[in-house]
Structure 1
Amino acid sequence: MIHEIRENGRETAPIFPKVKALIPIREAGEFVYVSGHGPEDINTYEPLYRGRVGADLTLEEGRQAAAECGKTLLRAIQEQYGTLDCIRSLVRALILVNCGEGFEAVGEVADGFSDLCVEVLQERGRHVRTVMGTRNMPNHNIPVEVELIFRLAEGYGAKEE
């Protein structure tokens, strides 16, 4: 995964600046909830894509943006746990697609995220998902945002005292 994240000249760096008031990851037993991530450059936090799919961006660009969301999410998990081996299985993804008027192929955009997860994690990357089209997104008008729930592998997570 590190190799994939370093492609295109991007080096690894913390996903969330320390000044943000939110937490990127919250454990609840063996399940982990990961905050929504957009297609961000992991060094500058700037969006790699901006605009609405079907208006400003093509379907293929939307798929690529969704895949970049996956890379950003997996990098946040790797940063938190030191390895992607902490993932027993992905459980559920909520994928929001910023759409132009009349654009209906939101599932095809979301496939960019889902396909990346299966490519990187194989069977552990299969998940259920909900995909929604929207006409307004925060964070500099990003085209896609993905929120994730996964199940921790044994031996990972908070240590009870």
Structure 2
Amino acid sequence: MAGKIDARLAELGIELSTPAAPVANYVAFVKSGNLVFLSGQLPLVGGKPSHTGKAGAEQSAEEAQAAARNCAINIIAQLRAACDGDLDRVKRVVRLGGFVASTPDFVDQPKVVNGASDLMVEVFGDAGRHCRTAVAAPCLPLDVTVEVDAVAEIE
């Protein structure tokens, strides 16, 4: 039987893929007490980057925001794995860290990372409200536009 969060994902038309496996010497997540620290997720869809290039050049702020949303979907997929398949165990999304590959004059990193923040609230309600950072980066792995990491509290 699907839980409340799975039902909400279905209502939003979001299907979670199998989480991406780490490609270097790290793990996808670490549990410490009731906290889950999730490694940075890229905007991968079907195993390929959905958005590449810099915000302010190849990607508009709105396109980069869509990339951040895709990162958040991948965070939720990793979180499901950390919760042994039961997203109803998520008590709170504690923090998001957003990295935006952008041109030196691009200043809308917070608007871009809203793509991830907004999805967390859409999916988890008030438990999805979190603190965060939104910073510029000169480049990111695979030339993606955005990378997002997270910390969540689980039961």
TM-score interval w.r.t. the shorter chain?
0.7 to 0.9
Aligned partner letter, 1:131: A
The number of aligned residues is 145
Counterpart-to-counterpart distance in 2, 1:105 and 1:13 = 29
1:5 corresponds to 2:5: no
* Deviations, residues 11-58 of structure 1 (Å, cap 9, x unaligned): x542123775421110011111000001111x4x21111111111001
Superposition pairs for residues 127-138 of structure 1, below 5 Å? 127-138=130-141
Equivalent in the alignment of 2:62: 60
Superposition pairs for residues 3-152 of structure 1, below 5 Å? 3=10, 4-6=13-15, 12-17=16-21, 21-41=25-45, 43=46, 45-81=47-83, 82-138=85-141, 140-152=142-154
Counterpart-to-counterpart distance in 1, 2:148 and 2:73 = 11
Which stretches in structure 2 are left out of the alignment for 5+ residues?
1-5
- TM-score normalised by L of structure 2: 0.86
* Deviations, residues 119-146 of structure 1 (Å, cap 9, x unaligned): 01000100000111111112x1111101
Counterpart-to-counterpart distance in 2, 1:19 and 1:58 = 28
Stretch of structure 1 that moved more, 52-61 or 72-81: 72-81
Aligned-residue identity in percent:
28
Counterpart-to-counterpart distance in 1, 2:99 and 2:50 = 16
Secondary structure of the equivalent of 1:5?
A: coil
- TM-score normalised by L of structure 1: 0.83
Counterpart-to-counterpart distance in 2, 1:39 and 1:19 = 15
Is the CA contact (8 Å cut-off) linking 1:91 and 1:150 kept in structure 2?
yes
